[in-house]
Amino acid sequence: MLCYNDRAMRDGFIKVATASPRVHLADCRSNADCIISTARLADQRGVKLLVFPELSLTGYTLGDLVQTRDLLEGALEALGLVCDATRDLDCLLAVGLPLADRGKIYNTAAVIHHGRPLAFIPKSHIPTYGEFYEGRWYTAASKELGSVRFRDEDVPFGTDIIIRCSDIHAFSVAFEICEDLWTVTTPSERHARAGATIIANLSASDELIGKDDYRRSLVVMTSARLLSAYIYANAGEGESTTDMVFAGHSLVAENGSLLAEQFLGGGGLLETEVDVSFLESERMRHSTFELLDDGHLYVDTHFNITKTWLTRSYPRFPFVPADKGVVEKRCERIITLQALGLKRRLEHTRTRTAVVGLSGGLDSTLALLVTVKAFDMAGLDRGGIHALTMPGFGTTGRTRNNAQVLAEDLGVSFEEVDIKESVRLHFSDIGQDEAVHDVTYENAQARERTQVLMDKANMLSGLVIGTGDLSELALGWATYNGDHMSMYAVNASVPKTLVRHLVSWFASADFSGAGAVLADILDTPVSPELLPANEDGTIAQVTEDLVGPYELHDFFLYYFVRCAFSRDKVRRLALRTFEGVYEEAVIDKWLDNFFRRFFSQQFKRSCLPDGPKVGSVTLSPRSDWRMPSDAIDALWRR
């Protein structure tokens, strides 16, 4: 059940942290003092879950001292000190200690909240190799649930225990210990399928050359595979260096993304926020993620609902990787996928001809470049690609000339078909005043161009290649049965912010010697050029002045469609991400416009032509986005 009193908790952000304070081997009281001071700091900073390393109350590298009665009792006394000192804290703590029960010793995580131990979680897999042969001292836990007596209270004991927030069950935490993560079948798999959205690991993993890379990959991929957050707290300074070195390599990952990482914590906190509502929605989207409750015990506890201040950042361009090297590889991969899709369609239809409406703008440029690549891959003559430029009432000399130069540089067939007289005749037929620059004036040009392309394709026994992109489809910024229609839409799953990077990649590679004209196309304002140009011949109709900045709309699109975030959550992230770039009122204006257009224009998306899927967000009505054309937008408008 959601708590609706606080916006932050509805958004699902939970502040979590790891800590690797300097351990004092066998000095349980000193370790307790360090844990207490760190917990108080974390609580002051709004942390709701704080994870300490394996055996953090005693130290991991104790050897046979673990079997001594004094140490075992000292660990329990230290646990009591931690409980007493954290009664007024709202932070859920996980600390490690050796726990003796019925003649066996267990490597255990004690989970504490408001001064009470909620559960003891024993380690499932005990390593029997390496410098520390844990099987000498510890017993592997079974899946059977039991209890341990602590301070006259029976505390649940077992591996399959999940701690939940009584107000927000999406905040569900399960625990495993070090080696449990490195095994073929991990406890975390069971925990995730039983509903845990956060897996916390108390670890003491030594350092070797290359082990940090493996550990990082293991944590990140586990979070991706389990659709969970994974918090890994590792032992650091103070552990014995007789045969090993511990560097406190701690990590927090969420659904395949590394959120935070540090070495040599030195007592400091590794903090970030995990988004449990996002994780829950991801599991809803994945039909293969099946919940399986095979006997887990759920322990509910109450948290004080407070504002979660975000420290994690979100990319301004979620469709474009931040790393330049990654961008280049991604661009090459996307273009290859687009071209492969078109190549297959050409082969299936036994077509050796393609028709592209080339305006001199970004979208049609990318469509032509992809078509050229597809023809090259299929071993077809580029002369079979027919680029048509169709000047209308708003076409500028710059875009018209760029279209011709691009076609010539690429070695494709080029033809100009001036549509102005045809449109005027159409205006006469329907009684449209050419002086009235309304939607009919604009759309008549777009539909005339599509008619020319379709008929030309019939003449040449070819396919009309669509040029519209994902951002335009989301906003419905396309003329129904005009540029909205084609025979294969190669850009249908490519958002506008990514289109620019793809064309830029072609330009930097100087594809077929077209680098210079591509650079000028990239510098041209985005426009449908359906209204007369300015007196100086420049573009009068700038798309982003009319519908809003595409960087905002692509941001809204990604977090609404891909992540299923609420309107308020999308707004919250946009305000944080674009702080200093756009005023709050500007973001609100275009966010409202995005949802208004997204809902009202679904009818255009309900009958889209085929096109290749190249990313995780598409609006194809046949697979990725199914929505009635008459859905009401009231919940998403303010």
Q: Summarize the confidence of residues 554-558 as an average pLDDT.
A: 97
Residue numbers annotated as active site: 54, 123, 178
Which pLDDT value is given to residue 48?
96
Express each pLDDT in 102-111 by its tens digit.
889 999 999 9
Does the structure show a pLDDT above 80 at 17? yes
Closest CA relative to residue 295, chosen from 146, 107, 119, 124? 146
Domain ranges of the chain: 15-301, 324-636
Which distant-in-sequence residues (6+ apart) come within 8 Å of 43 by Cβ? Answer: 89, 90, 91
Strands in 20-82 per DSSP E: 49-51
What DSSP element (H or E) covers 278? helix 276-285
Is residue 319 within 8 Å of residue 495, measured between CB atoms?
yes
List for the chain the helix, strand, coil content (%; round to 5). 40, 20, 40
Q: Summarize the confidence of residues 508-526 as an average pLDDT.
A: 89
- Domain 15-301: CATH class, spelled out: alpha beta
CATH topology for 324-636? Rossmann fold (3.40.50)
Which distant-in-sequence residues (6+ apart) come within 8 Å of 630 by Cβ? Answer: none
Does the structure show a pLDDT above 80 at 188? yes
φ/ψ of residue 206, rounded to 5: -75, 170
**CA gap 569, 166 in Å, rounded:** 22
Does the structure show a pLDDT above 80 at 576? yes
Express each pLDDT in 139-165 by its tens digit.
898 878 899 999 989 999 999 999 999
Express each pLDDT in 265-276 by its tens digit.
555 899 999 999
Which pLDDT value is given to residue 168?
84
What DSSP element (H or E) covers 116? strand 116-122
Per-residue HEC secondary structure of 503-571 comes to: HHHHHHCCHHHCHHHHHHHHCCCCCCCCCCCCCCCCCCCCHHHHHCCHHHHHHHHHHHHHCCCCHHHHH
Which pLDDT value is given to residue 132?
58
Which pLDDT value is given to residue 289?
81
Which distant-in-sequence residues (6+ apart) come within 8 Å of 166 by Cβ? Answer: 300, 301, 302, 303
Better-scored residue on pLDDT, 86 or 291: 86
Does the structure show a pLDDT above 60 at 403? yes
Which pLDDT value is given to residue 4?
36
Mean pLDDT taken over the chain: 92
Express each pLDDT in 599-631 by its tens digit.
999 999 999 999 999 998 999 999 889 999 999
Which pLDDT value is given to residue 3?
37
**CA gap 456, 453 in Å, rounded:** 5
Q: 324-636: same fold as 15-301?
A: no
Query: What percent of the chain is modeled with pLDDT above 90?
Result: 79
Q: Report the predicted TM-score, pTM, of the whole model to 2 decimal places.
A: 0.89
Q: Which residues pair with 88 in a beta bridge?
A: none
**CA gap 424, 445 in Å, rounded:** 10
Neighbours of 477 (CB within 10 A): 22
Q: Summarize the confidence of residues 499-526 as an average pLDDT.
A: 90
Q: How confident is the model at residue 256 (pLDDT cuts 50, 70, 90)?
A: very high
Q: Summarize the confidence of residues 478-500 as an average pLDDT.
A: 96
CA angle 312, 315, 321 (to 5 degrees): 125
